[in-house]
């Protein structure tokens, strides 16, 4: 606890993902006052063509748990 999942379009290499995962983990540690060994970060790649249906409509649009919303919309 906690586990952070980042969904993004394909195309970033492992070096970029590892760097971002470490940065996310450090912010989680600082803000939630947890031990770094308790934090995990995963990446799930979703194709651009599937993003609207699989991510935006299912996980973002009507989800009251989303605290930071994007400035785009899929209909």
Which tokens sit at 13?
């290499």
How far is it, in rounded angstroms, from Cα 70 to Cα 55?
Answer: 12
The answer to whether residue 70 is catalytic is no
- The single residue of 1, 2, 65, 71 carrying the catalytic annotation is 2
Q: Which is nearest to 45 in space by CA: 73, 6, 16, 14?
A: 6
Which residues are the active-site residues?
Answer: 2
């Amino acid at each position: 606890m906690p586990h952070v999942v980042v969904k993004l379009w394909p195309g970033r290499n492992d070096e970029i993902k590892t760097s971002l995962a470490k940065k996310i983990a450090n912010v989680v540690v600082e803000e939630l006052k947890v031990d770094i060994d308790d934090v995990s970060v995963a990446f799930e790649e979703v194709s651009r063509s599937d993003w609207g249906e699989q991510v935006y409509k299912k996980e973002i649009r009507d989800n009251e748990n989303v605290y930071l919303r994007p400035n785009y919309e899929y209909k």
